Amino acid sequence: RVYADCKEKHGLRFTRIRGLKKNQQESLIIFGCHNLGKLARMKKRRGLINTTSPNKKERHIRKIVQIYQFA
């Protein structure tokens, strides 16, 4: 289901650039971001994100969760 979600939500249905290598690089970035979003949501569900005084790493995870929820 991961590829289907990325295909629908992140525009992998059609390519916007030419060349196999460039398309592979773009898809690696998209799937990497997808995995970061999954990791951030998993940490949030398990309560591993500190809500009282977040450090720099946790603030980045929150931003990723917020951005990925709109995608």
Residue-level pLDDT at 23: 85
Residue-level pLDDT at 60: 77
61 vs 26: CA distance, rounded Å = 22
pLDDT in tens, 8-50: 776 777 888 889 998 888 888 888 888 888 887 887 777 766 5
Residue-level pLDDT at 40: 79
For the chain, the C-alpha Rg in angstroms (whole number) is: 15
Does the pLDDT of residue 68 top 60, yes or no?
yes
Is-above-0.75 flag for pTM? no
19 vs 50: CA distance, rounded Å = 43
Does the pLDDT of residue 71 top 60, yes or no?
no
Count of beta carbons in the 10 Å neighbourhood of residue 61: 20
